[in-house]
């Protein structure tokens, strides 16, 4: 098993048929079974594939994952459907408690999209464009810094979300 081999994080996809049939206790049992074989400090992320779910199903999936002590609810695998949307990230964040976080994954390709997801409530971003996004963010910060220096403005600063991309917390 991955945990015995040293895995520190696991992703699992929630059982969509159970969720759509409102068989929430069975969906909970699936997630809880993974949590039981991968206890903390292993990070458990439950993938919802939000583009395939109604708002009610997204809410239910978040609550099931939260009740089973998942660390994150994740928008998608990034391989099927639309991927992360601000609307779904905001919805997910609004229904989970402080011990569960949101990971926006799939379709995040630019710094602006990354910042929008973070402002919507995502704690993490999953993207295959990470290097490009970080280069774009670095360029934006450098341009901003030069513009501020050139105009002599000392009180201006970039958006907190953009600054957060370069912090360790």
Q: Please confirm, yes or no, whether 103 is among the known catalytic residues.
A: yes
Region of residue 63 (phi > 0: left; psi between -120 and 50: alpha; otherwise: beta): alpha
Looking at 74, 87, 109, 155, which residue is catalytic?
Answer: 74
| Beta pairing class for 9-13 and 72-74 | unpaired
Nearest 5°: the CA angle 38, 41, 120 is 100
Looking at 11, 63, 150, 151, which residue is catalytic?
Answer: 11
Q: Please confirm, yes or no, whether 30 is among the known catalytic residues.
A: no
Measured on CA atoms in the order 3, 6, 9, 12, is the torsion positive or negative?
Answer: negative
Looking at 45, 93, 101, 103, which residue is catalytic?
Answer: 103
Q: Please confirm, yes or no, whether 135 is among the known catalytic residues.
A: no
What is the maximum span of the chain, computed from C-alpha positions, in angstroms? 61
Query: Which residues participate in catalysis according to the annotation?
Result: 11, 74, 103
């Amino acid at each position: 098993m991955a945990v015995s081999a040293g895995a520190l994080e696991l992703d699992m996809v929630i059982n969509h048929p159970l969720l759509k049939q409102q068989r929430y206790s069975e969906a909970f049992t699936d997630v809880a079974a993974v949590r039981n074989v991968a206890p903390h400090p292993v990070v458990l992320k439950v993938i919802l594939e939000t583009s395939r779910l109604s708002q009610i199903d997204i809410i239910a999936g978040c609550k099931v994952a939260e009740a089973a002590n998942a660390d994150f609810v994740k928008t998608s695998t990034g391989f099927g459907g639309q991927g992360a949307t601000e609307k779904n990230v905001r919805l997910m964040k609004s229904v989970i408690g402080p011990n569960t976080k949101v990971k926006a994954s799939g379709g995040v390709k630019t710094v602006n999209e990354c910042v929008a997801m973070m402002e919507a409530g995502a704690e993490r971003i999953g993207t295959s464009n990470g290097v490009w996004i970080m280069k774009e963010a670095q360029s934006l910060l450098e341009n901003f810094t030069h513009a501020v220096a050139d105009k002599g403005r000392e009180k201006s600063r970039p958006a907190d979300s953009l600054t957060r991309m370069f912090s360790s917390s």
